[in-house]
Amino acid sequence: MAFEWTEPSPKQKLSIAKSTARINLWHGAVRSSKTIASVLRWLEFLKKGPKGKKLIIGKTERTIKRNVLDVIADIVGSRNFNYNRGLGEVTICGHKCEIASANDERAESKIRGVTLAGAYGDEISLWPESFFTMLLSRLSVPGARLFGTTNPEGPHHWLKENYIDREQELSLRSFHFKLEDNPALDHTFIENLKQEYSGVWYQRYINGLWVLAEGLIYDMFERDLHVVEEIPDLKQTWVGIDYGTSNPTAFVLVGMGKDNKLYIIDEFYHAGDDMSTSKTDAEYSVELQRWLAGWEPRWIFIDPSAKSFRTQLWRDRSQCPAFQNIAKGNNEVLDGIRKVSSLLSTGNLMVHNRCENVIREFGAYSWDPKAQERGEDKPLEKNDHTMDAVRYVVASIGSTFERVMRVA
């Protein structure tokens, strides 16, 4: 097996040497070198571990490739690496590993009846607990091991309470990594990364702590810092829509200025909380056309559950050029909240003072304390309509967000 080992840091060496339990978990801050350490240990296990079926698991196949397979390919080189996406398998230095995603409660059915000699897990805290439990039951070959990584969540998360906190009771080793445990990181990069996070995200992603998401979600929002009276020249615009029938409907217009900052330029907000004020899909379509007069957004991102409204806009596309590009908004809630938080923390998301509902909700949008008791990070379904619309845009434009953060 001829792959090139990179020189690990002392913390990485310790975790590689000590990860001999049935369950081995690396957790802590982002970019703290925990993935590299766990991957090096996985490669060693492929060489020296028991024979039998091996599995690499992540939230989705896309995240598996980005977070794990690309790292492995860089270490072992292209001649020792072959990823066959169609078959859902990868061959690493002659050792075949199957690929599996653990994206919802139904995922555990994918591994029923499988006998495993080893498994590697990415972003384990994002998996359903049922999948993790099933996976452990399938690791039945003598000497089978699980190696995996995760960023912290809340202290009541099932992985923290049922496994990491019970390390002394189980055949489990956990290794906590802080940002400073990665000696390869440039000091300037570390400082920039710290500026991108605040509040709960700073505690989790910088300090690597399992802390509650409580109180205000956007506690970094300040009217004096984030509310502006003028909008610069714009390079591109998008619309986000949170659609309601008995609940309010909100449209937000978001643009990227020539200064590479995102601006919430305008809003439309209609309560529609009783039969006398509610509107039909066709009426909302007319409202959207009027509201967009003079604007031609690149995309309109709509609440994914609003199928009938998307259909109405598609039917009305001949009446409004902006309706040509309509898409479901990315509804990965926590990831979207994190991205909005990062933009606010770095001063890269601003709000025009005409957007009264956006400003109000930024100051009121809160975490659900009852969900925290269940180990979940979940916003209260209150003061969230413009917040959802903003999140659809920020989460859906993807590479544009990453470009903004690189400029920051």
What is the Cα–Cα distance from 24 to 146, expressed in whole angstroms?
A: 6
Task: Report the pLDDT value the prediction gives residue 156, as an integer from 0 to 100.
Answer: 93
239 forms beta bridges with 253, 300
Tens of pLDDT, residue by residue over 349-392, are 999 999 999 999 999 999 999 998 888 899 999 889 999 999 99
Single-letter code of the amino acid located at 74: D
* Statement: residue 93 has pLDDT above 80: yes
Percent of the chain with pLDDT over 90: 78
Task: Report the pLDDT value the prediction gives residue 72, as an integer from 0 to 100.
Answer: 96
Architecture per CATH, 10-185: 3-Layer(aba) Sandwich (3.40)
Alpha-carbon distances of 36 from 93, 177, 259, 275, rounded to whole Å? 17, 12, 36, 57
Model pTM above 0.85: no
Delimiting residues of CATH 3.30.420.280 domain(s) in the chain? 223-407
Read off the tokens for 225: 């810092």
* Statement: residue 159 has pLDDT above 60: yes
Read off the tokens for 344: 């606010």
Tens of pLDDT, residue by residue over 229-246, are 999 999 999 999 999 887
What is the Cα–Cα distance from 119 to 99, expressed in whole angstroms?
A: 10
* Statement: residue 408 has pLDDT above 60: no
* Statement: residue 303 has pLDDT above 50: yes
Supply the DSSP string of 213-225, one letter for each residue: --SBTTTT--HHH
Tens of pLDDT, residue by residue over 242-282, are 998 878 999 999 999 999 999 999 999 998 665 557 889 99
Q: What is the mean pLDDT of the chain?
A: 91
Task: Report the pLDDT value the prediction gives residue 274, as an integer from 0 to 100.
Answer: 58
Task: Report the pLDDT value the prediction gives residue 297, as an integer from 0 to 100.
Answer: 94
* Statement: residue 123 has pLDDT above 80: yes
Task: Report the pLDDT value the prediction gives residue 75, as an integer from 0 to 100.
Answer: 93
Alpha-carbon distances of 348 from 340, 345, 389, rounded to whole Å? 9, 8, 17
Average pLDDT, integer, range 273-301: 87
**How many other C-beta atoms can be found within 10 angstroms of the C-beta atom of residue 363?**
14
Q: Half-sphere exposure (CA, 13 Å, Cβ side) for 113?
A: 2
Tens of pLDDT, residue by residue over 124-133, are 999 999 999 9
Is the Cβ–Cβ distance between 56 and 47 less than 8 Å?
Answer: no
Tens of pLDDT, residue by residue over 52-67, are 999 999 999 999 999 9
CATH number of 223-407: 3.30.420.280
What is the Cα–Cα distance from 345 to 357, expressed in whole angstroms?
A: 20
Average pLDDT, integer, range 141-165: 96
* Statement: residue 6 has pLDDT above 60: no
* Statement: residue 184 has pLDDT above 90: no
Task: Report the pLDDT value the prediction gives residue 136, as an integer from 0 to 100.
Answer: 97
Delimiting residues of CATH 3.40.50.300 domain(s) in the chain? 10-185
Read off the tokens for 84: 């066959």
